[in-house]
Amino acid sequence: MAINSIESREDSLTKYSFPNHYPANCPPQPYNEECGKYYRLVKTRDKLDPIHYKSHYEAKIREDLESTRACSRRALSMFKDYEEALNLARQFPTIGKYIAFLNLVGGHGVVCEENYCSFQSHHNWWVPIKVNAPDFCLKIEGPVC
């Protein structure tokens, strides 16, 4: 797995290190290392494209939400339900016209469910520094819209 060179803060409650730009108590507690299949909207078919694994914070998207959603902005957005990911892609193709199939099998970081708008299967994934997110991508399908 690749090692990211970003400075980190070691969280005593977890085995992971997260970047220093994470706010206190982020990722939120209780910590969950929920495994399983997830779906994430992405912009290209290249599963190694680094843009697929940048949080809104890192990509400087929706900076207006920093005061109210600082922790969520540092996570990667994904869905447990394929149909919800597909519906979001069709509603907002600028987010991504492709769907990445992720298989989180342990050692991947922290996952928390977060209902987002009308999407009931939305989850956030906080990827630790020493975890290489592309390792968990099985394939990319699309364009789906």
Q: Which of 14-28, 35-49, 92-106, 120-134 has the lowest mean pLDDT?
A: 14-28
pLDDT per residue as tens digits for the range 91-120: 999 999 999 999 999 889 999 888 766 778
Nearest-angstrom CA–CA distance, 22 and 3: 18
Mean pLDDT of 62-71: 79
pLDDT per residue as tens digits for the range 11-27: 444 578 999 999 988 99
- Phi and psi at residue 12, to the nearest 5°: -70, -20
20 or 8: which carries more pLDDT confidence?
20
Give the three-state DSSP class for 138. strand
Chain centroid, CA 21 distance in Å = 16
Give the three-state DSSP class for 22. coil
Fold for the domain defined by 28-141 = ADP-ribosylation fold (3.20.170)
What pLDDT is stored for residue 14 in this prediction? 55
Domain boundaries, the chain: 28-141
